[in-house]
Amino acid sequence: MPPDMQRIELREALRQALDEEMTRDESVVIMGEEVAEYNGAYKVTKGLLDKWGAERVIDTPIAELGFAGLGIGAAMTGMRPVVEFMSWNFSFVGCDQIISNAAKMHYMSGGRFQVPIVFRGPNGAAAQVSSQHSHCVESFYSNLPGLIVIAPSTPYDAKGLLKSAIRNNNPVLFLENEMMYGLKEEIPRDEFLVPIGKAKVVRSGSDLTLVAYSRMMGVALEAATLLAGEGVQIEVIDLRTIKPLDINTVIKSVHKTNRCVVIEEGHYFAGIAAEVGFEIGQFCFDSLDAPIARVCQRETPMPYSKVLEKETLPTVDRVVHAIRKTMR
């Protein structure tokens, strides 16, 4: 490995982003359940209390409505809080603060208040955490003007996008995934940023465009690799930012491939795949040689059973089936 590179887990990439931004800007603070004394539920904030002290790494009560509001108030008065939800499922307890205050304060105050806050934590299903702990919240929160929604799939993007999110003057919802915290990648040791609102062509191809983000990128790339063995060249796009959506990168690809499949871990009805599919239909109608397909979580609460859980979530087999059907 070159000396200017490091191979680290995604959780460490997030930790480095937090540490670097706390070093750069003393107004950056971290708050949430177990972020300090316990080093974070998923060890993302490990060691930060020892380094920065209890005034900048703050354990909160189990009260999402309370500490979400506390963070918003701090952001309105000059701080840059990073608020961790132990799970985005728990954000529903405090979502009135996000919806009614974080998303709307700049507008309602006529521009007098900015809310530079980042809400972050694991989103979507983990392993056997069942129906109350497996929600994908991106379509829910993306429906609201005033919020930026980010969902990275690699350690590189996680670090670069979190740093950009902390520097942004708007409320940002940063969606991670519990099953990806141990994902390793070589990333630069030197500082870097990843721009918000820019999708990435991860794999080039000419036969079909496959769109995904977050954990589903692994499914997309595995399906593309499998089909490459059959001579089908899939172009894979990682959205990275859900809102604002970089539809132009997707459109450019679909104009080239003439076919598209969208993968989403969340449910199909009124989901991100539905939005992406509609915009492709709007701007690429004359280029499409087949209907747009989507592979989403089945329309049921998440089961606890391992077997049923696998059947509920998008799988490589389901994606490959959708691609073959679209190719025909």
Active site residues: 64, 133
Instruction: Please choose, from the candidates 182, 188, 223, the residue with its C-alpha nearest in 3D space to the C-alpha of residue 205.
Output: 223
Cβ-contact 102, 147 below 8 angstroms: yes
> What is the greatest pairwise CA distance in the chain?
60
Q: What angle do CA 9, 15, 20 make, to 5 degrees?
A: 125
301: DSSP letter: P
User: Rounded to 5 degrees, what are φ and ψ at 79?
Assistant: -90, 170
- Which structure tokens are listed for 157? 């993007």
Cβ-contact 115, 81 below 8 angstroms: no
**Rounded CA gap, 328 and 323, in Å?**
9
Residue positions counted in the chain: 328
Provide the CA 220 distance to its chain's centre, in angstroms. Answer: 16
Q: Which stretches of 86-199 are assigned E, i.e. beta strand? A: 118-122, 148-150, 172-176, 184-188
- Which structure tokens are listed for 147? 């919020």
Grouping H, G, I as helix, E, B as strand and the rest as coil, residue 264 is strand
Q: Which stretches of 33-129 are assigned E, i.e. beta strand? A: 57-59, 80-84, 118-122
Contacts of 265 (CB under 8 A, 6+ apart): 124, 125, 136, 214, 215, 216, 296, 297, 313, 314
Amino acid at 3: P
**Rounded CA gap, 296 and 272, in Å?**
10
